[in-house]
Amino acid sequence: MIGQIANILVDGLAYAMFLFIVSVGLSVTMGLMGFVNLAHGAFAMAGGYVVLTATRYFGVPFLGALVITFLVIGAISVVFERTLYSRLYKAGELDQVLLTIGLAFMAIAGITYLFGPIPQHVVLPHWLAGHIDIGLRTVPTYRAFLIVVGFLLVIALWYGFERTTLGAKIRAAVDNRRMAQSVGINVDLLFTLTFAIGSGLAALGGGLSIHLLGLTPTFALVYLVLFLLVVSVGGLGSVKGTLVAALVLGIFDTTGKYLYAEAGGFFIYAIAMAVLLIKPAGLYGRE
Amino acid sequence: MSKPTDSTFLLGRHVDFLLNRHRFKLAEALPWILAIAAFFLLPDRLTFGSQVLIMVLFALSLDLILGYAGIVTLGHAAFFGLGAYTVGLLVIRAGWNEPISSLFAAAAVAGIAGFLSGWVLLRYRGFTLLMLTLATGVLLMELGNLRSDITGGYDGLPGMVIAPLFGVFEYDLYGKTNYIYALVVLFIIFMIVRRIVYSPFGEALTGIRENVRRMHAIGAPVHRHLVVAYTIAAAIAGVAGALNAQTNAYVTLGVFEFDRSAAVMVILILGGTGRLYGAFVGAVIYMVLEDYLAKWSPEFWQFGVGLLLVMAVLFARRGLLGLFEDIGRYISKKRTS
């Protein structure tokens, strides 16, 4: 019984951290520019394939591959942001939805062409493969690693968001874009930067999760709904909200899968809908 | 000729336009003539043809809420799926396999679901509404999976036997009956939709799309209008789903998939939103392209869909029909100048 709860907690936390890492960038960029980016899952998926390529074909160590994917996908996302996204800031959400679904489709097709539709696996480095003793019991090292990385990122993001000038500027722009612009904040540049960091984090999440979820090209759409749920339940532009929503949805989802596997994602979708019906702007969103 | 500047003259012309635009134009017969011609010219492609007609119907229902009322939904497949499952469950679980009454049952179930969900969800706007409609579709799929004892889960309900149409017309191997059946249903519903969009109610929907604040300000019951439109659209989508289940003789949880909501949106955007024949143009082009290119390579087709979407957003926001109009206007302008 205790063992069951501990398993659920470890798996749930690891899953929640993955959800947080991928979703936080989406939340901030959506809060900042109100851009509905359905291609965010594609960046995460692409990140997984960059890690795969780097470790399998170039012999890059796992940690190094994670850094590479953050930088590569972040850089690629800037190209997209400058050439395509920036044209649609003032357009309606329908246009944004269509453009980004289009990009997601193209990404899925392109990756399928390159790697095939079958699930890909990455061999974990030996230091992540086993179990680790945390005193009370042993937990899989990989999951513990995911939780630790997620926790470190939470602290780093909290510090960056709450304690640095850049973070203050982002918060100001999320709260009131026009006011931020009128006090001399270059919102466009700020957006490009947060967009790149957000996409980089998505790629990092995608790379980290390969072993947890498996990697197929359809990752881009399959998990997209979850990322969007985390963002909308947490509230647009709120790092804290994203964390809370990721924890709640991640742990609930895992619990459901342990105890009542047939239900699939039913409960988290029901919970997410209930939250949105009561608080349309999400838990920590601005009404 | 001097330019008329008299405002009453202009007003009169505008009223004239409003009064006359619901009259049938000769060009409107064209898609129907082509559909009938296809029946005779492509006898071995009729099964595919009825799939196209069903997608036209589905896209038409989306047009009513997206194109006319301006509601962006990511979960329209929910109603398509409900219609399909109404038919499937009636046949498999209740032994009811008469097709026409099943269509009405599917319209009723989907319509009620549309009314209830619309009544709640249409109070929300923007991203929240997007998420809520998206979640409705996923939730229904999960629910279907949860009760796989009833729905058959991801294996679906195979082996449906549909009774002959009116007890007379058997379904043949070439899909002749199916094609005519789908075409007649499409035509009847199209006439209803046409009547709706040119009615004062249709004008009110367009008003809500163009400027919802102004509609509130003049005291229009915005929420009620939207719910009514959503209910009608849901019922039509249910009929499309029901037709799909009947022509394929099976239904699986795939009907609820996000891909289907996305596909119908692509079709509508491709053809042109807020215009009655956009659904026709979009569905025919999309389905024919898919049929050819997917055989060649599925990835190639999916890449093509993505590219089409991106191009449509960047260069042809009013769809192909809008693009044709623009080109036509450009040519006629050149000719007069």
Contact B309, A98 (CB under 8 A): yes
Alpha helices (H) in chain B, listed in sequence order? 7-20, 29-41, 46-62, 77-94, 99-121, 126-146, 148-151, 176-197, 200-210, 212-217, 222-248, 258-271, 278-296, 298-315, 319-336
Beta bridge partners of A215: A120
Evaluate the CA torsion angle B142, B145, B151, B153 in order and state its sign.
positive
Q: Which residues of chain A make contact with B136, given a CB cutoff of 8 A? A: 273
Looking at CA atoms only, how far is residue A127 from chain B in angstroms?
37
Which of B131, B145, B146 is opposite residue A276, by nearest beta carbon? B131
Three-class secondary structure of residue A65 per DSSP: helix
Give pLDDT < 50 ranges for chain A.
none
B135 and A272 within 8 Å at the Cβ level: the answer is yes
pLDDT at B293: 84
Looking at CA atoms only, how far is residue A264 from chain B in angstroms?
7
ipTM: 0.86
Three-class secondary structure of residue A110 per DSSP: helix
Q: Is the pLDDT of residue B262 over 80?
A: yes
Looking at CA atoms only, how far is residue A96 from chain B in angstroms?
8
Reported as a pLDDT band with limits 50, 70 and 90, residue B11 is low
Which of A255-269, B8-22, B150-164 tops mean pLDDT?
A255-269
pLDDT digits (tens, 9 = 90+) for A168-210: 999 898 888 889 999 999 998 999 999 999 999 999 999 999 8
**Residue B130 corresponds to which tokens in the numbers above?**
């997007």
A108 and B146 within 8 Å at the Cβ level: the answer is no
Is A275 at the interface with chain B, CB within 8 A? no
Three-class secondary structure of residue B157 per DSSP: strand
Q: Which residues of chain B make contact with A109, given a CB cutoff of 8 A? A: 299-303, 306
Average pLDDT over residues B267-277: 87
Burial A144-159, CB ≥16 within 10 A → b, else e: bbbbebbeebbeebee
Which of A261-270, B134-143, B201-210 tops mean pLDDT?
B201-210
pLDDT at B292: 86
Q: Tell which of B134, B136, B313, B317 to mutate to test the A interface (max A CBs under 10 Å).
A: B313
B124 and A280 within 8 Å at the Cβ level: the answer is yes
Contact A17, A243 (CB under 8 A): no
Q: Which of A266, A222, A213 is nearest to B257 (CA)?
A: A222
Considering chain B, what percentage of its residues have pLDDT values greater than 90?
31
